[in-house]
Amino acid sequence: MSMVTLTINGQKVTVPEGSTVLEAAEKLGISIPTFCHDPNLTKPGACRICVVEVQGARNLPASCVTPVTGGMVVETHSAAVLEARRTILDLILANHPLDCLTCEKSGACKLQEYAYEYGVAGTTFDGERHDYPLDDSNPYIVRDMNKCILCGKCVRACTEIKGQHAVDFARRGFETKVSAPLDNPLGESECVFCNNCVTVCPVGALSDKQLLGKGRAFEVEKEPVTCTFCDAGCEFDVVKRKGKVLGVAAKAAAVGRPLCLKGRLGLDFIHNPGRVNPPLMKDDNGQWVETPWEAALGLSEVVAKLARLKD
């Protein structure tokens, strides 16, 4: 693969041809904010928070979709870039309910993170704000479209990973929103509750009903596990608070990790007192008895041989 060398913030970096400026910056440990970018999804270049200054370019290109070229000179935090990012944050906040105090996403919200990083305390604009009703119609997902920043990740996760395409953009201009067909509530859509959309949403627009009110990112621990309900073996996070399991969340939107409803809702088993831990086998009397794993799997002999070999 041919390599390309470019300069970012005065540092030289060499990356494979076809990489984006964002990827090259990551390699140097330079962090560029992103809302709509997700390595597992197609790249729309929509939110523009990741813009950078490229010497010789007329505008500020979005680093997540700009391929590197040899000799390119990039500034990721120049005055013009900071001005653009702050303006974008200012514009988002002009149409965003600032209820971080009670928001489920607090602590894991990208908008909150970047507002802090770029020192944007609030909006300088006063004008129309959306006032959509809360969509509580889906049994597993709560949607607050007033918080949506229209990054489109949920649309892509639903379409590209799940192939479900339960939601897409509707309308134009300021009225643009993500909606189910015919502007129906999500509960009356083709949604199959995979929650991929909830996982990718960078703000608090989509929440998992199961976890609602049970704790925010900084109050919970996450433990990666592999689901055993079927042989797909999806990876997900078990979300715990003070050791007690609250629920299960997908780790990321990615093919092969769809995290089906069974995996997430089968959670009740954990706390079920009837849950069986060691394997059981019927004895000669037809009674269930606890059995070591080797015996249950019919591997006693093999294990014994291995043990001998080891000696």
Would you tell me which residues interact with ligand SF4 (CB under 6 A)?
A: 141, 148-154, 157-158, 162, 164, 166-167, 178, 191-197, 200-203, 205-206
286 exposure class (CB count in 10 Å sphere: 0-12, 13-18, 19+): exposed
With CB under 6 A as the contact rule, the residue among 34, 95, 195, 207 that binds ligand FES is: 34
Give the C-alpha distances (Å, rounded to integers) separating 90 from 84, 125, 193: 10, 8, 33
Picked from ligand SF4, ligand FES, another protein, none, the partner binding residue 91 (CB below 5 to 8 A depending on kind) is another protein
Angle (CA) 272 274 275, round 5°: 70
Q: Are strands 73-75 and 3-8 parallel, antiparallel or unpaired?
A: parallel
Query: Which CB, 48 or 216, lies closer to another protein?
Result: 48
Interface of this chain with another protein, residues 168 to 197, rule: CB under 8 A: 168-169, 171-176
268 exposure class (CB count in 10 Å sphere: 0-12, 13-18, 19+): exposed
Q: CA 267 to CA 260: how far, in whole Å?
A: 12
The conformational region for residue 213 under phi > 0 = left, psi -120 to 50 = alpha, else beta, is left
The conformational region for residue 41 under phi > 0 = left, psi -120 to 50 = alpha, else beta, is beta
- Give the nearest distance from C-beta 27 to another protein in angstroms: 21
Query: Which CB, 81 or 220, lies closer to ligand FES?
Result: 81
Picked from ligand FES, ligand SF4, another protein, none, the partner binding residue 110 (CB below 5 to 8 A depending on kind) is none
Angle (CA) 70 72 74, round 5°: 150
- Give the nearest distance from C-beta 70 to ligand FES in angstroms: 22
Q: Residue 46 interacts with ligand FES (CB under 6 A)?
A: yes
Interface of this chain with ligand FES, residues 53 to 72, rule: CB under 6 A: 62, 64
- Give the nearest distance from C-beta 263 to another protein in angstroms: 32
Binding track, positions 102-141, relative to ligand FES; x by CB under 6 A: ----------------------------------------
- Give the nearest distance from C-beta 153 to another protein in angstroms: 13
Q: CA 172 to CA 129: how far, in whole Å?
A: 16
DSSP secondary structure code for residue 85 in this structure = H
50 exposure class (CB count in 10 Å sphere: 0-12, 13-18, 19+): buried
Angle (CA) 286 290 292, round 5°: 120
With CB under 8 A as the contact rule, the residue among 67, 107, 185, 266 that binds another protein is: 67
Interface of this chain with another protein, residues 2 to 61, rule: CB under 8 A: 43-49, 51, 59-60
Interface residues toward ligand FES, by CB under 6 A: 34-37, 45-50, 62, 64
Interface residues toward another protein, by CB under 8 A: 43-49, 51, 59-60, 62, 65-67, 80, 83-84, 87-88, 91-92, 94-95, 124-125, 127-128, 149-150, 152, 168-169, 171-176
